Amino acid sequence: MEDQIAQGDEENNVQVVGNATDFITGISNVRILCLSASTVEILTLYCEAIPIPIFSNLTHLTIQSKPEVGWDSLPGLLKNCPVLETLVFQVCTNPFKHHVIIIGDVGDVRLPKLKSLYLKSVKFKEEGIGLSKLLSGCNVLEELVLDDIWSCEWNSCSVSVATLKRLTVNCSYSNILHDSIAKSVLFDVPNLVYLEYTEVIASEYPKVNFRSLVEAKIDLQVARDQSDESSDSKFEDQVAQGNELVGNATDFITGISNVRILCLSASTLEILTVYCEAIPIFSNLTHLSIQSKPEVGWESLPRVLKNCPELETLVFQGLLHKATDKCGDVCLCKPREEEKEEVPSCLSSSPVKVLKILMNNDKIEKQMEQVKHFLETMPHLEQLVLYYESSFDEEVLAQLQIQTRAASPKCKVKLIPGNLSVSSAVPSSVSTKWVSLL
């Protein structure tokens, strides 16, 4: 504020109108506070209190902001919130006009009581280093959401928080708008139990410590410069052809291999084919959900299923996928004659007891043939649950029970009509709470 007054003396004696000092001091005993973008700016321009008053009772702080508003007062504000438990940066932006809010130096910010941190469309002046500095001051952090922070632009990104239990990274538009990828991404979160990860694959993952992980929803993507590489070529074929792969997901996938509940997007299946040296053994995995898209093949799926020795429940979010000759016996895509003897048997040896399938009205006959293939091939099935749209022909489903010779005599078919809902078929060990916070 002193700078504003000094500037006013120099420029035709124009003085600052208004003083928010007493008002801000008067609300400093609040417990829950939401600051608009203009209020954050006013803390810088119209408040004489230097430093900002101590908010000794504040446990929940939400900061709303706009791209044109600076955050010069933010580090000073955060330093004076000694008992803050939840911090939310709320920014409404158009992802295709990526407006970011820049946070300055946060190296000396300490939030000793902070348990939940939500960052949306935030950009640090020091990029990944700035994020690391902020996290280093959060010694008891349990929940972290990085929404649209575009870490794929950074040279490196590190999330190292020993107390963290939930981590959500959502950069769903980065593969559409950017050519760059992070060279190095590090995770050291030994107590993490829930991971939701949507991001472009990095060049390398020097450390991936998810040793307590229970549930993960993975949506790996490729940037535009990665997408030029053939999605029909396996990792070893790319290397043999001398192609320099832009990203490598091997260490990341290996790092989550102790998970119990796993959901893989269609693009992740594709990445496992092209950008992963080997599929690890998922020794603890009991529940696997697969998302399918007509333009993406199932080439990696046989290797995934073969490496899930304890799998009990398998969920398909759709059955339609790109027909190739490399899907093994997981579907009806026929292999080439010279490869028939090498096709792995992943269904006939599958331990899966419960199979859940979310169907739609497109190419019904093809989907039904696939369902029959599952029934006739999987010997340990005890229950097949079909979720179908209300307009689906129930007579077709009825014939499934009559005409199909199931490989398992114990298998019972259950039909559930109505609106398709992934949540009804896919469990979640911990429900998200951010909707109530924003």
* Chain position carrying tokens 């949506």: 219
User: What are the tens digits of pLDDT across the range 105-119?
Assistant: 666 788 999 999 998
pLDDT of 219 over the 60 cut = yes
A 10 A CB-CB count for 24 gives 20
User: What are the tens digits of pLDDT across the range 381-416?
Assistant: 999 998 887 666 666 666 666 556 777 888 888 888
Q: What is the pLDDT of residue 116?
A: 98
- The phi and psi torsions of 4 (rounded to 5 degrees) equal -65, -45
> Do residues 24 and 49 touch, judged by C-beta distance below 8 A?
yes
Q: What is the pLDDT of residue 186?
A: 94
Q: How far is CA 362 from CA 53, 243, 323, 391, 396, in A?
A: 61, 37, 15, 11, 14
Query: Which region among 176-185, 229-238, 351-360, 420-429 has the lowest average model confidence (pLDDT)?
Result: 229-238
- The phi and psi torsions of 109 (rounded to 5 degrees) equal -80, 125
- CA gap 106, 134 in Å, rounded: 6
- CA gap 220, 338 in Å, rounded: 32
Q: What is the pLDDT of residue 239?
A: 39
pLDDT of 182 over the 70 cut = yes
